[in-house]
């Protein structure tokens, strides 16, 4: 899940009162603009993770099945997505008809009644082959409101030539990873002024949480219906101490930056390693490989040059799943990804269901996998292939963990509690002191 800003669940819940009073599901199809007879169906996709090829497929397939209707795909930036949804999903005239939301945002909107009940589609869309953690995030009281679109567990990309120059090899344990990052930091084979053995910005809790998870720590725990911040537990503290060591000895990334676009530093020779979902492979553009193809050049010659460029990038770049505490194990990294649901205010309930069927068709699920995304229906995960990127993605996904399924978790992210915690640790604050403050904020926010 990407970081979002939100004005709080209270505002969302107030806005949703009108929504739930009007009812969802089939009743909602009688209200709102457009209706079912045709017209325009609006799909909101978050960010740029869905390739253009897949967007084109959705439009062509949907409009072929519904000649009187038009599918309009609107890309929404992850930043500020929650406030935009707060406004749009409460309005019959503004609501889209199908919405991609981050997996950690999903509980907030499902608890608030923002989406229509699609429990009757569960088996049709994949049943138990669906990513179950994402299904749980889209379910309230055994009623299904949102289903998994895709997942992308994080893996570590590294520059093979830089590794060779520093005399290091791919680590096999989490402790070795720190040692390798430190050695790279000290060696600085590229000579960059602000070189990082491992690119780890100060606010990057999405990657840092893997150390906490590895030691058995948790962000928050639930007992008797009440959530409590758990960053002060001995297990969490052990993980946070190791993250602070990385901040201190293995990275020069800005203390006030987040996890956005880590490949930029890698492409510029400013980092030997970075961690991101495996589809980041398409963003790697090493200077030694760049063919200078213009972005708008669609000629066959340009396509051939781009293929050469990509092959060069992948020859010089390696990838591995972040190792766990024991040799041969894999760290439980953060499971990024998205859910997708039908807004209850949409006046095009049946058309939206038809589009959902296209998205969960074998063809589209296969296309997701072929583009490096772990599909919502794991039956088609084999289409990821068997190259190193697919192997790393699947290895990282095995034990990947979601954020706590708390109703108000989006408020924790919106308040940037974890970004602030990690930035404090990166800046030298004692992890116990920073965690105690963050725990109180998390507890107050979730309850």
- pLDDT tens per residue across span 312-338: 999 999 999 999 999 999 999 998 889
232, 432 contact by CB (below 8 A): yes
CA angle 116, 118, 120 (to 5 degrees): 145
Q: Beta-carbon neighbour count of residue 77 at 10 Å?
A: 12
Nearest to 321 by CA among 155, 77, 87, 153: 155
Residue 65 phi, psi dihedral angles, 5° rounding: -80, -25
Question: What ranges in 170-299 are assigned the alpha helix state H?
Answer: 174-187, 205-214, 234-249, 263-267
Strand partners, 75: 45
* Sign of the C-alpha dihedral computed for residues 214, 215, 216 and 218 taken in this order: negative
Cα–Cα distance between 285 and 291 in angstroms, integer? 10
Angle at 106 between CA 362 and CA 155, to 5 degrees: 65
d(CA 173, CA 326): 6
Q: Which long-range contacts (CB under 8 A, 24 or more apart) does 161-166 make?
A: 161/189, 161/316, 162/189, 162/190, 162/272, 163/272, 163/318, 165/189, 166/272
Instruction: Look at the domain 154-333+405-446 and name its fold.
Output: D-Maltodextrin-Binding Protein; domain 2 (3.40.190)
Q: pLDDT 10s per residue in the chain (447 long)?
A: 333 323 333 344 434 434 433 333 333 333 334 455 568 999 999 988 899 999 999 999 999 999 999 999 999 988 788 889 989 999 999 999 999 998 888 888 888 899 999 999 999 999 999 998 899 889 999 999 999 999 988 999 999 999 999 999 999 999 999 999 999 999 999 999 999 999 999 999 999 999 999 999 999 999 998 999 999 999 999 999 999 999 999 999 999 998 889 999 999 999 999 999 888 898 999 999 999 999 888 899 999 999 999 999 999 999 999 999 999 999 999 988 899 999 999 999 999 999 999 999 999 999 999 988 899 999 999 998 888 888 888 888 878 888 988 888 888 988 899 999 999 999 999 999 999 999 999 999 999
Residue ranges matching CATH 3.40.190.10 in the chain: 40-152+335-398, 154-333+405-446
354-380 core/surface letters (b: 16 or more CB in 10 A; e: else): bbbeebbbeebbbbbbbbbbbbbbbeb
Q: Which of 363, 249, 348 is nearest to 39 (CA)?
A: 348
Segment (H or E) for 202: none
Whether the Cβ atoms of residue 415 and residue 10 lie closer than 8 Å to each other? no
Nearest to 348 by CA among 16, 114, 40: 40
Number of H helices, E strands in the chain: 18, 12
Q: Are 159 and 313 in contact (CB under 8 A)?
A: no
Topology (CATH level 3) of domain 40-152+335-398: D-Maltodextrin-Binding Protein; domain 2 (3.40.190)
Residues 275, 251: contact at Cβ < 8 Å?
A: no
Alpha-carbon gap, residue 153 to 275, rounded angstroms: 10
């Amino acid at each position: 899940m990407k970081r979002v800003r939100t004005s709080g669940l209270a505002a969302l819940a107030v806005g949703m009162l009108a929504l739930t009073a009007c009812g969802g599901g089939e009743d909602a199809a009688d209200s709102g603009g457009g209706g079912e007879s045709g017209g325009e169906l609006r799909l909101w996709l978050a960010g740029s993770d869905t390739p253009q090829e897949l967007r084109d497929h959705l439009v062509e397939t949907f409009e072929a099945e519904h000649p009187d209707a038009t599918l309009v795909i609107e890309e929404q930036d992850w930043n500020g997505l929650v406030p935009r949804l707060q406004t749009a999903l409460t309005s019959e005239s503004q609501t889209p008809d199908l919405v991609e939301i981050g997996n950690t945002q999903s509980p907030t909107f499902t608890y608030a009644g923002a989406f229509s009940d699609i429990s009757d589609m569960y088996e049709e869309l994949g049943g138990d082959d669906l990513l179950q953690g994402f299904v749980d995030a889209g379910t309230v009281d055994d009623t299904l409101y949102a289903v998994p679109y895709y997942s992308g567990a994080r893996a570590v990309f590294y520059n093979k030539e830089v590794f060779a120059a520093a005399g290091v090899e791919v680590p096999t344990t989490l402790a070795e990873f720190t040692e390798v990052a430190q050695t790279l930091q000290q060696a600085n084979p590229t000579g960059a002024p602000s070189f990082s053995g491992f690119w780890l910005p100060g606010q990057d809790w999405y990657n840092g949480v893997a150390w906490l998870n590895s030691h058995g720590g948790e962000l928050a725990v639930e007992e008797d219906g009440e959530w409590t911040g758990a960053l002060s537990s001995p297990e969490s503290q052990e993980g946070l101490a190791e993250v602070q060591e990385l901040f201190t000895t293995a990275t020069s990334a800005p203390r006030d930056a987040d996890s956005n676009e880590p490949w930029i530093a890698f492409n510029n020779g400013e980092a030997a390693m970075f961690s991101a979902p495996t589809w980041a492979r398409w963003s790697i553009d090493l200077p030694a490989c760049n063919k200078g193809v213009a972005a708008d050049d669609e000629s066959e010659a340009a396509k051939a040059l781009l293929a050469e460029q990509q092959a060069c990038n992948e020859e010089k770049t390696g990838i591995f799943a972040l190792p766990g505490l024991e040799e041969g194990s894999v760290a439980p990294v953060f499971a990024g990804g998205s859910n997708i649901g039908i807004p209850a205010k949409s006046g095009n309930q049946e058309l939206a269901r038809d589009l959902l069927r296209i998205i969960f068709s074998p063809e589209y699920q296969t296309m997701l996998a072929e583009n490096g995304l772990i599909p919502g229906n794991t039956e088609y995960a084999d289409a990821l292939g068997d190259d190193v990127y697919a192997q790393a993605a699947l290895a990282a996904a095995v034990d990947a963990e979601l954020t706590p399924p708390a109703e108000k978790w989006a408020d924790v992210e919106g308040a940037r509690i974890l970004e602030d915690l990690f930035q404090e640790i990166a800046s030298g604050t004692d992890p116990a002191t920073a965690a105690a403050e963050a725990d109180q904020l998390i507890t107050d926010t979730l309850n």
